Amino acid sequence: MRADRPKPTSPGKWRQKFCGAALRMMVVLGFGAIVWKAFALQVVERSVWEERARAQTETTVQVPIYRGSIYDHQGRLLAMSVPQQSLFADGVMVTDPQKTADLLAPILEEPAAAIHTKLTRPAKGNRQRRFIWLRRELTDQQANAVADLKLPGLQLIDEYRRFYPCRQIAGQLLGFVGSDGSGLEGIEKHYDQVLRERFQVASQQRDGLKKRLVFESAGVNANQERPGLSLTVDSYLQYLAEKALEEAVKKYQAKAGEVVVLDTHNFEVLAMANWPAFNPNNYRQEIADNWRNRCITDLFEPGSTFKVFLVAGAVEEKLIGTTDRVFCENGKYRLANHTINDVHPYGWLTIPELIKYSSNIGATKIAVRFGQERYYRYIRGFGFGGKTGIDLPAEARGTVRHWKRWRPVDLAAAGFGQSVGVTALQLTAAVAAIANGGTWMQPVIANGFIDQSGQWTPIHDSRTARQVVQKKTASHVRDMMMEVTKPGGTGIQAAIQGFTVAGKTGTAQMLDPASKRYSSTKFISIFTGFAPADNPRIAMTVVIHEPHGAIYGGVVAAPVFHNVAVQALPYLGACPKEEGQTPGTCAPNLLKGDPSTRPLAVHYTTNDVKVRQILPRNASLGPHLQEDTGAAPGTMPNVVGLSFRSALQQLQRLQGKIQMEGSGQVVGQFPLPGASVNPGEVIELVLEPMTLPAQKKDDPS
């Protein structure tokens, strides 16, 4: 029997099956591709497409938030961040740029054409810009006027501006910040990373039709503790220094001046004054040259003040004794084809008399006896020819040529302060080394950080220090410097009744840039010293550039030392020792030492006692005591720490125009305490609800 054979498939049916299979395969592959693409879009490439979506619907901009405050040594505010509104525009949402510009022009006090240009200037690729700054730091009146316009595409944003409540006081020292919140000069620049803690990120969003603009920003908790910086500077001492310096510069029609005040115990800067001054609140309107902190940037020849360090080194090396005498050639001395002159002809002078009368010829002979290498070593030891290392930007190094490059006349010139360049801070640190027993230390101007939790921590765990001369040597030199401020000395005008003063005057000729020779008409007047000489508290240097009418340091600069120190010493707790003065009681220093050993009270035996200040401010005075604001009629009292109402009560007698910023208790004032206030003069008060973060219990300051 024969098996059945399959019937052959017709070509049409075969094609039909093939096409069906191919179609099914295409459907499967297409669906798979769709699934894979969907997977790729949602999983693999998700971040890429989310970023593109955000780019189309959202624009972000970094806006500086609260910048840390700066306080002086007593906790007074020197710099703070004040809430302020700024104005920006969305170029797409602005429907009528010309109308917008015309309405904004009178509010912003800017030409309408300039505003129109900002609104219509295209971005890259000829696209409209989404975020356009129109004005930073609007006044309250400007912000309210812009809000009332209700123009499409305009938006106000909350940010902060930097405010300096003491205006020009310590302007060069503090510096200022730019519109982006970064420090550009002074303390603001050096400690920028500490003060500029973080940013808030602001975003603007729109819907698919681009008809809606929403602005969102990270919130700022006003009650949160903010980082800050505590300085060694005392704003009252800074005010005294700037006031005395300004009076001297104007009196002698000088070009500029500097005053530096150091604490002789720890080389902390108590004041650093410059003139001309400048107000960091309006730094754009100030002359840029006035931004410079001349105390650390400007070099000058120290003149006869350098003789102090020459004699200190020579005594230390036992090259001279305090009773030795030097013949001063009756005013003229030839050395290596050069003539050394004295202002007055002197014969034999003892070493103390050489300092007292400031003989160049006597200094020359000591310098020659010293020798180049040894003298150079002491010059560098006292901090000249290098940076002090202070925590401020742009400090100059000072100029002292290496001793191997000195000619004989260079050695002689260095003996009386020529051929070397120093800054006011370097000179003050060097004389402070004499005051504290021969030890030079690195000066500092900031002493602590205030962190987010309000805790105070010290900045400088260790500093450079070196013993330049022995205490005995420093004591001998101190005694010589005291002769300078006694009758017959060149610095008699620095003397203070009731206090011993040690100092040295200097009058330096300026180099003429054109002739490369010393000018016969341009001088620098200098006085450097410390007080009280028997128990030094402060060291100070006064420098006046190009005075007219008088040139000598003892006439021009010494009175500035007197005017500052005569008020600073009692303020710091130093008591006059001269008999016959009005009886008084000096309070003990409660800021230093072991708290367990600090006296808890001062006892009075008289019923006629006036209390200048009591803390807390609302505490009871007790019997036999009456409150005294410490301010004479027409003198600004200290109202920091008071409520606005209490401050207003004390200020009413001055008949001034009171302006306030903020709310709460007074944290800043101008004029400063002790300043003269004329009727009708503006009195500025800064108020803030937050209190100064507490320092650690073991804070040594």
Is 70 exceeded by the pLDDT of residue 208? no
- Max mean pLDDT range (142-151, 187-196, 477-486, 514-523): 477-486
What percentage of the chain carries pLDDT values higher than 70? 79
Same domain, 495 and 378: yes
Helix orientation angle between 112-120 and 97-108, rounded to the nearest 10 degrees: 130
Is 60 exceeded by the pLDDT of residue 554? yes
- Max mean pLDDT range (180-194, 376-390, 678-692): 376-390
Same domain, 628 and 483: no
Same domain, 623 and 536: no
Higher pLDDT, 503 or 659: 503
Is 50 exceeded by the pLDDT of residue 456? yes
d(CA 672, CA 72): 13
Q: What CATH number should be reported for the domain holding residue 82?
A: 3.90.1310.10
Coil vs helix vs strand at 616: coil
Strand partners, 414: none
Predicted local confidence at residue 463, as pLDDT: 86
Q: Is the Cα dihedral 342, 345, 351, 354 positive or negative? A: negative
d(CA 162, CA 188): 10
Of the ranges 30-44, 180-194, 573-587, which one carries the lowest mean pLDDT score?
Answer: 573-587
What percentage of the chain carries pLDDT values higher than 90? 51
Q: Where are the beta strands (DSSP E) in 65-198?
A: 69-71, 77-89, 132-138, 154-163
Same domain, 154 and 239: no
pLDDT digits (tens, 9 = 90+) for 68-120: 899 999 888 899 988 888 999 988 888 899 999 999 999 999 999 999 999 98
Q: Does some domain include residue 23?
A: no
Predicted local confidence at residue 689, as pLDDT: 61
Find all residues with CB under 8 Å of 597, minimum gap 6, and list them. none
d(CA 578, CA 515): 51
Is 70 exceeded by the pLDDT of residue 461? yes
Rounded average pLDDT over 644-665: 78
Predicted local confidence at residue 202, as pLDDT: 54
Same domain, 211 and 341: no
Average pLDDT, rounded, for the chain: 82
Of the ranges 88-92, 211-215, 408-412, which one carries the lowest mean pLDDT score?
Answer: 211-215
Predicted local confidence at residue 628, as pLDDT: 47
Predicted local confidence at residue 595, as pLDDT: 39
Same domain, 254 and 350: yes
Helices (H), 539-612: 553-556, 558-571
Using CA atoms, how far residue 274 sits from 123, 170, 676, in Å, is 45, 8, 20
Same domain, 158 and 257: no
Minimal CA–CA distance to 412: which of 348, 477, 344, 361?
Answer: 361
Q: What CATH number should be reported for the domain holding residue 681?
A: 3.30.10.20
Find all residues with CB under 8 Å of 21, minimum gap 6, and list them. none
Instruction: Give phi and psi for 316, each to the nearest 5.
Output: -60, -40
- Max mean pLDDT range (34-38, 75-79, 531-535): 531-535
Using CA atoms, how far residue 100 sits from 132, 148, 273, 276, 515, in Å, is 13, 13, 47, 42, 60
> Going by DSSP bridges, is the β-strand pair 609-611/625-627 parallel, antiparallel, or unpaired?
parallel
Predicted local confidence at residue 432, as pLDDT: 98
Is 70 exceeded by the pLDDT of residue 624? no
Find all residues with CB under 8 Å of 632, minimum gap 6, and list them. none
Same domain, 166 and 251: no
Is 80 exceeded by the pLDDT of residue 494? yes
Q: Does some domain include residue 14?
A: no
pLDDT digits (tens, 9 = 90+) for 667-689: 777 777 777 788 878 888 877 66
Q: Does some domain include residue 497?
A: yes
Predicted local confidence at residue 345, as pLDDT: 93
Our count of domains for the chain comes to 3
Predicted local confidence at residue 641, as pLDDT: 75
Minimal CA–CA distance to 59: which of 31, 84, 92, 35?
Answer: 92
CB atoms within 10 A of CB 131: 15
d(CA 338, CA 351): 24
| CB-neighbour burial class of residue 498 (10 A; exposed 0-12, middle 13-18, buried 19+) | middle
Same domain, 201 and 259: no
Q: Which two tokens stand for residue 58?
A: 């959202």
d(CA 85, CA 137): 6
Q: Does some domain include residue 174?
A: yes
Q: Model confidence at 476, in pLDDT bands (50, 70, 90)?
A: very high
d(CA 86, CA 92): 19
The residue type of 695 is Q
Q: Does some domain include residue 195?
A: yes
Same domain, 140 and 249: no
Rounded average pLDDT over 319-347: 91
Q: What CATH number should be reported for the domain holding residue 401?
A: 3.40.710.10
Higher pLDDT, 699 or 687: 687
Strand arrangement, sheet containing 214-217:
58-64, 199-205, 214-217
Is 60 exceeded by the pLDDT of residue 578? no
Same domain, 495 and 633: no
Q: Does some domain include residue 337?
A: yes
Is 90 exceeded by the pLDDT of residue 469? yes
Using CA atoms, how far residue 662 sits from 82, 86, 332, 654, 685, in Å, is 8, 18, 67, 22, 9
Rounded average pLDDT over 487-503: 95
d(CA 372, CA 194): 45
Its domain, for residue 670, covers 611-688
Q: Does some domain include residue 581?
A: no
d(CA 208, CA 56): 9
Find all residues with CB under 8 Å of 661, minimum gap 6, and list them. 82, 163, 684, 685, 686, 687
Could you please report the per-residue DSSP string of 419-468? S-BB-HHHHHHHHHHHHTTSEEE--BSEEEEE-TTS-EEES-S---EEE-
d(CA 477, CA 536): 14
Q: Model confidence at 56, in pLDDT bands (50, 70, 90)?
A: low
Same domain, 351 and 415: yes
Predicted local confidence at residue 503, as pLDDT: 97
Q: 357 near 307, Cβ under 8 Å?
A: no
Is 60 exceeded by the pLDDT of residue 225? no
Predicted local confidence at residue 584, as pLDDT: 44
Predicted local confidence at residue 28, as pLDDT: 77
Q: Model confidence at 5, in pLDDT bands (50, 70, 90)?
A: low
pLDDT digits (tens, 9 = 90+) for 157-173: 888 888 999 889 999 99
Predicted local confidence at residue 306, as pLDDT: 97
Is 70 exceeded by the pLDDT of residue 455? yes
pLDDT digits (tens, 9 = 90+) for 227-261: 689 999 999 999 999 999 999 999 999 999 999 99
Q: Model confidence at 59, in pLDDT bands (50, 70, 90)?
A: low
d(CA 566, CA 574): 10
Is 60 exceeded by the pLDDT of residue 288? yes
Q: Does some domain include residue 19?
A: no
Rounded average pLDDT over 501-516: 89
